Amino acid sequence: MALLPGISSPADVRALRPAQLESLATEIRAFLVDSVSRTGGHLGPNLGVVELTIALHRVFESPRDTIVFDTGHQAYVHKLLTGRSDFSALRQRGGLSGYPSRAESEHDVVENSHASTGLSWADGIAKANELRGAADRHVAVVVGDGALTGGMAWEALNNIAAGQDRRLVIVVNDNQRSYAPTIGGLAAHLTTLRTTRSYENVLAWGKRTLRRSGPPGRLAYEALHGLKKGIKDVVAPQGMFEDLGLKYVGPVDGHDVRAVEGALARAKAFGGPVIVHVITEKGRGYTPAEQDVSDRFHAVGVIHPETGLPIAPSRFGWTSVFADEMVRLGHRRPDLVAITAAMLEPVGLAPFTSEFPSRVFDVGIAEQHAVASAAGLAFGGMHPVVAVYATFLNRAFDQVLMDVALHKAGVTFVLDRAGITGDDGASHNGQWDMSLLRLVPGLRLAAPRDEDTLRAALQAAVEVDDAPTVLRYPKGPLPPRLPAVDQLAELDVLGRHDGDERSVLVVGVGAMAHTATRVAELLAAEGCTATAVDPRWVLPVPESLVKAVGDHTCAVVIEDGVVEGGVGSMVAQHCAAAGVRTPVHPVGIPLRFLEHASRAQLVESLRLRAEDIAHDALRRLDTPAH
Ligand SMILES: Cc1ncc(C[n+]2csc(CCOP(=O)(O)OP(=O)(O)O)c2C)c(N)n1
Ligand SMILES: CC(=O)[C@@H](O)[C@H](O)COP(=O)(O)O
Ligand SMILES: [Mg+2]
């Protein structure tokens, strides 16, 4: 009889007999493949943590004990074991979030999908437990080998090691991958730890046989055991974790649910900070994922469950244009180098890597290091292009400001997934970059509207060697080309409609230029005079844009970013400073976190569709100024 339908809480998992656990794991894997192939999601990471998550909920008593997932994309099994079995609308409005969600369950804690913060959360929770007289409660945190390459993880480990009495179990989910194989010295160290598994097996044999063969055998075993410590130090210098004062348990086969349960129970019994090193396989148990060299089905769209092939082939998108133009520029500019933070394929640097393997640096999930090292590369005479998702640049703002801009370094930042992305939830929308980066002296930011303007912006950006330059573009397929019909200084005029005295300047930032063009048409249909323009470079605000605003009775600035401090607010500020009295209305994302939904649903609910913007503009125009 199927076990999964009978699981509605961790207590049900703990009530299972050990002999039932492998069957439960098999059922969960089948569920994940069947369900996630219909909705899309992080199939590979979750297939790799089935046994681990079962063991976690058998050893720790959530929510009395706290279980934290770093990045959280691997929490589907946790959701299944904590009473959430309807994955039919995963990552869709009204359905389960693709990450932990407190609104969904008392078992969920960290909703932030930015990697490498889990250990800090765990440190804080363990300190709070101690201070609130709940020191007997345990905190377990699952952190991937990729997330461990983030600097915050090491800041946290340093602090966790200082709390020797805090009940904190760090589960290193070592599947040797971020998207691609995890890079760096840490990955190498984890590898040496993994290779000691053979010594563990020899030692286990020694324990079983030698110790049963009387005093000589016991002596032999003790010698072997001492040798093992020596060997481990030689083969796998335990120092990194143990020198930090952290006990180390492992490596453990992460797909042997009883072995993981035993290791977690031992770690829990220590009563202090312990690392449990669990060896897992991303995509485990699903051949298309296991055979996916690129990223073991890290994140898939809707796929054929039998083959793993995508139902809808991915279309030529913004990322592909960047990828292509980078290669073209790379041939022309030997000083051009590229930096990725563990997302080489997703940001489009694979073609550049194929052509110029020595000129690409994958720094791991380490955006702050990526930016500061870019300042170093620029100092050394290179022109770095740092390619990250817009939302992940947030954590490297200080490095952009103080390491790049303060030193007038010619570094180009390419921000993919800028604006509303939607289904990955609140922390993945690239909505803050323009409001943040407007504060950086000397920084120049371009928001291309189509393929031609993206190529032109990248070409121009890499020519700037005395200031940071930034390009930002959205997720997904390219919109049609949108050629200018005229020019107003450096402003591309996209549409010009003569009408009555109500003259509206409609400014489209980046991909919103397409919306702006439509808004102008709708306003013209209502008799207004309407001009749609795209400044292309929006930071600093072009003077010609301020002048164009002054030539109209009102202006609307449409951007796929936070309105607070965004381009629209800057245009209004510059107009006020220039004595231009034309009212400027910023239109964009309000100052709040967006629930997970499709981009289209969020655009509609935020009234960012052309018809909504035109309607609101008309209402303002027809409302007498008080
Ligand atoms: C700060 C930040 N940068 C980049 C990402 C994108 N990202 C999401 S998951 C992931 C790889 C995580 O690897 P790992 O921690 O080993 O987890 P696994 O998927 O292997 O279980 C990356 C780079 C992110 N979530 N946060
Ligand atoms: C958690 C994670 O992997 C994210 O970075 C996200 O899933 C990216 O999704 P896209 O690459 O599809 O935008
Ligand atoms: Mg990993």
Q: Residues 452-464: pLDDT tens digits?
A: 999 999 999 999 9
pLDDT tens for residues 13-48? 999 999 999 999 999 999 999 999 999 999 999 999
Q: Is the pLDDT of residue 492 over 70?
A: yes
Which CATH number covers residue 614? 3.40.50.920
Most confident segment among 138-147, 195-204, 308-317 = 138-147
Mark whether 442 and 507 lie in a shared domain.
no
**Which ligand is closest in space to the CA of residue 364?**
1
Please tell me the distance between residue 299's alpha carbon and the centre of ligand 2 in angstroms: 7
Q: What angle in degrees, to the nearest 10, is found between the helix axes of 197-209 and 214-235? A: 170
Token reading at 267: 């770690």
How do residues 433-448 score in pLDDT, each as one tens digit?
999 999 999 999 999 9
Whether 594 maps to a domain, the answer reads yes
Is the domain of 123 the same as that of 262? yes
Q: What is the mean pLDDT of residues 384-399?
A: 98
Residue 419 marked ligand-binding: no
Residue 307 lies in a domain: no
Please report whether residue 308 resides in a domain: no
C-beta of 282 in contact with ligand 1 (< 6 A)? yes
State the pairing for strand pair 274-279/360-362: unpaired
Close Cβ partners of 626 (under 8 Å, ≥ 6 residues apart)? none
Question: Average pLDDT in the 325-346 region?
Answer: 98
Residue 442, annotated as binding a ligand:
no
Which is the closest atom of ligand 1 to the Cα of 71?
25
Domain range for residue 574?
A: 488-622
> Ligand 2 test: best mutation among 424, 427, 599, most atoms within 8 Å of CB?
424
Note whether residue 296 is domain-resident: no
Cα(446) to centroid(ligand 3), Å: 34
464: left (phi over 0), alpha (psi -120 to 50) or beta: beta
Q: Is the domain of 221 the same as that of 242?
A: no
Distance 148 CA to ligand 3 centre (A): 9
ipTM above 0.85, yes or no: yes
Asked whether residue 76 falls in the same domain as residue 121, the answer is yes
* 223 against 380, higher pLDDT: 380
Check pocket membership of 45 for ligand 1, CB cut-off 6 A: yes
Same domain, 85 and 161: yes
For the residues 101-111, what does the mean pLDDT come to?
98
**Mean predicted confidence (pLDDT) in 522-548:** 98
Asked if 412 and 499 sit in the same domain, the reply is no
Whether 475 is in the pocket of ligand 2, judged by its Cβ within 6 Å, is yes
Q: Is 113 annotated as a binding residue?
A: yes
Residue-level pLDDT at 312: 86
d(Cα 431, Cα 392) in Å, to the nearest integer?
Answer: 11
The pair of structure tokens assigned to 603 is 């655009």
Q: Is the CB of 280 under 6 A from ligand 1?
A: no
Q: How far is CA 117 from CA 186, 366, 367, 396, in A?
A: 17, 12, 13, 14
Ligand 2 pocket residue status of 596, Cβ below 6 Å = no
Same domain, 606 and 492: yes
Residue 583 pLDDT greater than 70, yes or no: yes
Judge if the beta carbon of residue 574 lies within 6 A of ligand 2. no
Residue 456 labelled as part of a binding site: no
Give the ligand whose atoms come closest to the C-alpha of residue 425: 2
Q: How many domains does the chain have?
A: 4
State whether 517 and 586 are in the same domain. yes
How many Å apart are CA 429 and CA 599, to the nearest integer? 10
Nearest-CA residue for ligand 1 atom 10 is 178
Ligand 2 pocket, mutate which of 177, 428, 429 (most atoms under 8 A from CB): 428
If asked whether residues 149 and 8 sit together in one domain, one would say yes
373: CATH? 3.40.50.970
Contact 168, 126 (CB under 8 A): yes
For residue 138, say whether it is annotated as part of any ligand binding site: no
Dist. CA 47–CA 50, nearest whole Å: 6
Q: How confident is the model at residue 135 (pLDDT cuts 50, 70, 90)?
A: confident
Pocket test for ligand 1, best of 46, 47, 68, 71 (most atoms within 8 A of CB): 71
Q: Does residue 305 fall inside a structural domain? A: no
Residues around ion ligand 3, judged by CB within 5 A, are 144-146, 175, 177
Residue 224 has pLDDT above 90, yes or no: no
Are 367 and 392 spatial neighbours (Cβ–Cβ below 8 Å)?
yes
φ, ψ of residue 595 to 5 degrees: the values are -70, 160
Are residue 389 and residue 499 in the same domain, yes or no?
A: no
Are 453 and 527 members of one domain?
no
Of 274, 291, 308, the one marking the end of a domain is 291
Query: Whole-prediction pTM value?
Result: 0.94
The residues assigned a catalytic role are 282, 367, 395
284 CB less than 6 Å from ligand 1? Answer: no
Q: Return the ligand number nearest the Cα of 46.
A: 1
Structural domain contains residue 466: yes
E strand spans, 425-572: 444-446, 469-472, 486-488, 491-497, 503-508, 529-534, 537-539, 554-562
Residue 146 marked as a ligand binder: yes
Judgement on whether residues 243 and 120 belong to the same structural domain of the protein: yes
Domain assignment present for residue 540? The answer is yes
168-200 pLDDT, tens digit per residue, is 999 999 999 999 999 898 888 888 887 764 545
How high is the pLDDT of residue 208? 65
**Within a domain: residue 313?**
no
> 48 or 212, which is more confident?
48
Alpha carbon of 454 to ligand 2 centroid (Å) = 22
Residue nearest to ligand 2 atom 11, measured at CA = 346
